[in-house]
Amino acid sequence: MTSNILIADDHFPVRIGLDILVNEILQSNPNIEFASNGYEILTKMENQNFDLLITDINMPMTDGFELIKQIVDKYPQTKILVVSVNPAEIFAPRLREIGICDYISKSESDEELKKAILNIVSGVSSNADKIETTEMEENLFIQLSSREFEVMIYLLKGLGNLEICNKLNITKTTASTYKNRIFSKLNVTSLMELSHLARKYHIVDDDLLLY
Q: What is the pLDDT of residue 206?
A: 63
pTM of structure? 0.81
Which of 4-13, 63-72, 191-200 shows the highest mean pLDDT? 4-13
Please state, rounded to an integer, the average pLDDT across all residues of the chain.
87
How many Cα atoms occupy the beta-carbon half-sphere of 63 within 13 Å? Answer: 17
Task: Name the 3-class secondary structure at 7.
Answer: strand
Q: What is the pLDDT of residue 134?
A: 39
Segment 88-109, tens digit of pLDDT: 888 999 899 999 999 999 989 9
Q: What angle do CA 14, 10, 61 make, to 5 degrees?
A: 160
**Would the pLDDT of 137 be above 60?**
no
Let me know how many helices (H) and strands (E) the chain has, helices first: 10, 5
Instruction: With beta carbons less than 8 A apart as the criterion, state whether 155 and 179 touch.
Output: yes
Residues 119-140, mean pLDDT to the nearest whole number:
62
Written as one letter, the residue type at 120 is I
Q: What is the pLDDT of residue 132?
A: 47
Q: What is the pLDDT of residue 136?
A: 45
Segment 46-86, tens digit of pLDDT: 999 999 999 999 888 888 888 999 999 999 999 999 999 88
**Would the pLDDT of 207 be above 90?**
no
Which pLDDT band holds residue 126 (cuts at 50, 70, 90)? low
Quick one: which H or E segment has residue 87? none
**For the residues of 26-54, what is the DSSP string, one character each?**
H-S--EEEEESSHHHHHHHHHHS--SEEE
**Would the pLDDT of 1 be above 60?**
no
Q: Show the domains of the chain with their CATH numbers.
A: 4-133 (3.40.50.2300), 139-208 (1.10.10.10)
* Dihedral over Cα of 128, 132, 133, 139: its sign: negative
